[in-house]
Amino acid sequence: MENKNPNNKKPFSFKNFSNTTLMLIALVTISIFFLFIRSQAANLTNKEISYDEFIQMVEQNLVKTVEINSNRIRIFPKQDIKSFLPSITYYTKPLHNPDLVNYLLESDVTIKGVRDETPVSDWLFTLAMFVMVCAPTIFLFRRMGGGIMNVGRSNAKVYVQKETGVRFKNVAGQDEAEESLKEIVDFLHNPHKYTKIGAKLPKGALLVGPPGTGKTLLAKAVAGEAKVPFYSLTGSDFVEMFVGVGASRVRDLFKQAQQTSPCIIFIDEIDAIGQNRNARLSSNDEREQTLNQLLSEMDGFDSSKGLVVLAATNRPESLDAALLRPGRFDRRIIVDKPDLKGRENILVVHAKDVAMDSSVDFNAIALSTPGAVGSDLANMINEAAINAVKAGREAVSQADLFEAIEVVLAGKEKKDRIMNAQEKRRVAYHEVGHALVTALQKDSEPVQKITIVPRTMGALGYVISTPEEEKYLTTKEDLLSEMIVLLAGRAAEQVVFGSISTGAANDIERATKIARSMVTRFGMSDEFGLINLETIESQYLDPRAVLQCAEETAAKLDRVVQDMLNTAYQKAVSLLENHRDQMDRIALYLLEKESITGKEFMSIFRQETLDEDQPQEAKKEENKEENKQENILKEDIPKDENNSTIPPVTLSKEENEVLNQGEDTRV
């Protein structure tokens, strides 16, 4: 083969220069440019004249000021007020004329002596202009990728298996998502198994779920298991102020990936560039060009080479339909909040490097954290370890974990917030009202803890209830019971104090949300029946309900919800009035201890319940025994001749003692 480049010289290209070299070339070019601009500006406002012309201007009284140095005489003529042209400064070379100064003074011309100009001043001027004008531009280019020649280059971070250090064993609570991704890993390892039967590797997989569920961790685990290069970047990395930069970076990213295939491209928060194009006011902006280029590249590459695109988002409803169709992102993998078993496995994974004592029960912790995601559970483990260190222990206990749950959910104890006696008593009755109504209803979750210690997130007190098992469906009775429990705090204040406070704001908000959902989404009202009046938007990021009905229907909806809340409130008031003694006894104990466990609460509650239920059931048997004993005693009582009973003899203390010794003291 003929060697077209015998000297092995590389063709000229700016890519062969380093960023430092390009920066120096830019500095020199800009400096020369500013010197040229200054010289041109000086030619427009300065004009050289002869010495004779200078003398004539002085004789005609046209000169106002002159500046004299050893090199030149600068002449500033008198300005014409009516002239709108820029002023012109004349200059001429000085001649040996000892009478010049006296002549100028006689002609009423101001004389100034100045230093000789040097080239240094020109360079200082150029440097100052460079700092003021070019420094922000250079900073902007550095933000765009290291220099003006790197504007369109991809800035994805490339990892290999040993750098990610994440495997599927490091991920827990997402068994279904792992199973879907393991197929991709197996395809990258053994492609012939799939190509033999005619199967193709999915071009892309979209990870969808709430924040903190482990979408990024799963993507890194795929790269770690597949042992292939892993390109990681976010959607915002493609977007810059210059139109076309994002599209250029997409091209460069896929070009690099195809050169190193098999590999994985992971785009986190893809909704930054993949939003629906119909949802925007402008139709030809930088984001749309970037999205179009991404769609083109996903259509263009060959998946048989082992190139897979993974993406993650919290807002799948905002993505463009062209991005979600088969042939681009072929799979949608839901990474949802973990269930009970998933939470327990996540706790085990995050606790493997933390010293735990024998009292730790991860199942109980998982039961106490419904709705928590992986990041929340990891934070709880870390907070528990910090609590153990502060307490001087060498291992984390169950109490540390429960305290960590409260810290994550309600914040730290606010020890500097001291309530007065009246407020403290009101808060105690408020929380006892929640707990007591919870215990009185069979559809409620058992109480785990009651406290009136304020927390940094604004809670003056709270009740923690733990479900006995994981529930995936909620019945109408469960929702009604929850509404009654939520309104029981306000009801307790009304029953005990005859007045209400602002402490029930969050309870009312939650109860109202439950009542509205029962009517608008779950079809649990007789007035509306089976009709959907609300839809949920952004279910993974920030769920919010959007009402879809007429104004008359909305007004009727408000009245129905209000009736449901009033009914639940009256039920709570009735329960607390019927168990006022129990509420007083538990509130007194809570005021003394400030925090009580669910066992302590149930101990007091059950004792009071037995006392109240005894006259109805247990006392019936007791009365039977008393009547039986009374009849027996009546038979033993002696009778007189008229068959009337002789009244019993009242014995003294001494006589009783003798009777107990077995001696007969009767007369």
Provide the annotated active-site residues.
431
The CB-based long-range contact list for 117-121 (8 Å cut-off, 24+ gap) reads: 117/69, 117/71
What is the spatial distance between Cα 291 and Cα 272, in angstroms, rounded to a whole number?
10
What is the spatial distance between Cα 318 and Cα 300, in angstroms, rounded to a whole number?
24
Tell me how crowded residue 179 is: count the other CB atoms within 10 A of its CB: 11
Run of H or E including 460 = none
Which residues 6+ apart lie within 8 Å of 455 measured at CB? 406, 410, 411, 412, 413, 414, 462
Whether 419 contacts 503, CB under 8 Å: no
What is the spatial distance between Cα 116 and Cα 110, in angstroms, rounded to a whole number?
19
Whether 331 contacts 180, CB under 8 Å: yes
Whether 201 contacts 306, CB under 8 Å: yes
Run of H or E including 21 = helix 19-45
Whether 13 contacts 21, CB under 8 Å: no
Give the 3-state secondary structure of residue 238: helix
Name the CA radius of gyration of the chain, rounded. Answer: 44
Structure tokens at 310: 């993974």
**Residue among 234, 31, 237, 254 at smallest CA distance from 151:** 237
Cα→Cα distances 199→161, 180, 602, 606, Å: 26, 15, 61, 65
Structure tokens at 323: 């991005």
Which residues 6+ apart lie within 8 Å of 454 measured at CB? 413, 414, 417, 419, 460, 461
Q: Phi then psi for 53, rounded to 5 degrees?
A: -65, -35
**Residue among 452, 454, 398, 402 at smallest CA distance from 429:** 452
Structure tokens at 123: 């360079």
The CB-based long-range contact list for 350-357 (8 Å cut-off, 24+ gap) reads: 350/377, 350/378, 350/381, 351/381, 351/396, 354/381, 354/384, 354/385, 354/396, 355/394, 355/395, 355/396, 356/395, 356/396, 357/393, 357/395, 357/396, 357/397
Q: Identity (one letter) of the amino acid at 469?
A: E
Whether 323 contacts 274, CB under 8 Å: yes
**How many residues are given for the chain?**
667
Whether 212 contacts 318, CB under 8 Å: no
- Output the CA torsion 514→515→517→518 (10° steps): 110
**Reduced DSSP (H G I as helix, E B as strand, rest coil) percent helix, strand, coil of the chain, to 5:** 55, 10, 35
